[in-house]
Amino acid sequence: MAKEKKLVEQITSMEVDFAKWYTDVVKNAGLIDYTSVKGCMVIKPAGYALWENIQKELDRRFKETGVENVYLPMFIPESLLQKEKDHVEGFAPEVAWVTHGGLQPLQERLCVRPTSETLFCDFYKNEIQSYRDLPKVYNQWCSVVRWEKETRPFLRSREFLWQEGHTAHATEEEAEERTVQMLNVYADFCEEELAIPVIRGKKTDKEKFAGANSTYTIEALMHDGKALQSGTSHNFGDGFAQAFGIQFLDRDNQLKYVHQTSWGVSTRIIGAIIMVHGDDSGLVLPPRIAPVQVMVVPIRQDAEGVMEAAEKLTASISAVARAGIDRTDKSPGYKFAEAEIRGIPLRVEIGPKDAEQGKCVLVRRDTREKREVSLETAAAEVEKELQKMQAEMFERAKKHRDSHIFDAHNMDELKDIAENHPGFIRGMWCGETACEEKIKEELAVTSRCEPFHDKEQIAQTCVCCGKPAKKLIYWGKAY
């Protein structure tokens, strides 16, 4: 019991210090470890298993839309990077450079990819010659490097894992359709698999991706009321194509430039899972994404019949869920605490009396509800409980988000909400970048997006300057 208490006490309460709570959970749940390279992390088996499940499900959804996977080099010649001016300026402060090959200085510096638009453009200019070569709908799973000043595990690190889709199309309409389609793939994935409700919308010109005509985003609200950009999709128009000379002969025998998109989700989505669902005892993983969905915990496994019953129970549950069995000789209390800190959705307890009476106890991680079920029906009950838990976790997160959306009609209200009521703030905007910059500078609040599904005119005037408003914007403090 003392060990169990000590294990839980390693996690700071989120109400005391949310940032410290997050770091404690990430470390104590065994997701990462720090390295001798500042800002870089080891993703341990528990963390990587989460990423594998995310990758597997996203990859399946991508391929259903016609996406093919490729892999391009991690190095970008400086001259190639310089071809798209806006893109270069957007990434310049974060670029890591290779200046030597072995002991010899390179004739030209190589950028370690912060993203791969320029590489795909260099590839496409030779790959695409005719309308018959289009569309190209490619994706790559890789790591990228961005030399961030302030880092935090998963949320912002100097090297991180992600996928980046890069597509080329014959028309502007096709590119726009793909851009929105992939954003909806991300949104559906977050809501259906991660139980994270999101706001779908368009970024302002100030916040859009460097070199893009338009950027679309999904924004999630964390437990502390801050927003997390959880996936983006960009329409580049033909800007990159003109810079790199990507042309094709169309059906009318005219040379035209392709229209391109790119879209990505990274390991920061693991940070979202932690901050939306976690509690003071550790991780709380949505069943669909959990590497281990059920942990069978034998109590007094040295007693006659307990391990045999636990093994048989685990085998039957494995037919409907990803199940494991805790064979360690630790105390039951410590086993329970470990399962909780790791966020395993369901714990199944079985002791000598349970085995004798043909029953076991199901314990949910999120609500800690306990109930007895027979060994004969345990697998079916586990399957139902996991489905119920997944749905209830989403509804709980949605209720939390919706109760933390506030309306502001002027700067005084915006300031009061920003200082005292963490969450999303709905406010009308005139469309002027000066107002957007003023809000950011004075209140540390940024525009998150112009929402797709919320067009309510909550006021006639801009929340900042009082001039006629053009659109509703979700504002908020963000990671």
Residue 248 · residue 133 · CB < 8 Å: yes
- Distance between alpha carbon 227 and the CA centroid of its chain, in Å? 12
Tokens of 357: 């009476």
Beta strand 405-407 with 424-429 is parallel
Q: Crossing angle for the helix pair 268-277 and 45-64, nearest 10 degrees?
A: 110
Residue 246 · residue 125 · CB < 8 Å: yes
Q: How many CB atoms lie within 10 A of CB 419?
A: 11
Give the model's pLDDT for residue 4.
Answer: 47
Give the model's pLDDT for residue 9.
Answer: 66
Closest to 404 in 3D by CA, of 301, 477, 331: 477
Give the model's pLDDT for residue 6.
Answer: 55
Tokens of 334: 């410590």
Give the model's pLDDT for residue 86.
Answer: 73
Residue 379 · residue 320 · CB < 8 Å: yes
Instruction: Mention every residue, 6+ apart, whose C-beta is less than 8 A from residue 321.
Output: 287, 293, 294, 346, 382, 383, 386
Give the model's pLDDT for residue 152.
Answer: 95
Closest to 139 in 3D by CA, of 32, 57, 58, 237: 58
Residue 306 · residue 326 · CB < 8 Å: no
Distance between CA atoms of residues 271 and 275, nearest Å: 6
Closest to 477 in 3D by CA, of 440, 427, 442: 440
* Ranges in the chain, pLDDT < 50: 1-5
In the chain, the domains with their CATH numbers are 8-277 (3.30.930.10), 294-384 (3.40.50.800), 405-476 (3.30.110.30)
Residue 228 · residue 268 · CB < 8 Å: yes
Give the model's pLDDT for residue 2.
Answer: 43
Distance between CA atoms of residues 391 and 405, nearest Å: 22
First to last CA, the chain: 37
Closest to 291 in 3D by CA, of 44, 64, 62: 44
Q: How many CB atoms lie within 10 A of CB 242?
A: 13
Instruction: Mention every residue, 6+ apart, whose C-beta is less than 8 A from residue 308.
Output: 355
**DSSP structural state of residue 18:** H
Tokens of 100: 């030597």
Distance between CA atoms of residues 296 and 334, nearest Å: 14
Distance between CA atoms of residues 287 and 14, nearest Å: 23
Alpha carbons within 13 angstroms on the beta-carbon side of residue 439 total: 35
Beta strand 68-69 with 136-145 is parallel
Q: Residue 135, preceding bond cis, omega within 30 degrees?
A: yes
Percent of residues in the chain assigned helix, strand, coil, to nearest 5? 35, 30, 35
Give the model's pLDDT for residue 7.
Answer: 57
Strand, coil or helix: what is 289? coil
- The pLDDT tens digits for 423-454 are 999 999 999 999 999 999 999 999 999 999 99
Distance between CA atoms of residues 137 and 168, nearest Å: 7
Q: Crossing angle for the helix pair 18-28 and 268-277, nearest 10 degrees?
A: 110
Strand, coil or helix: what is 252? coil
Rounded to 5 degrees, φ, ψ at 29 are -80, 0
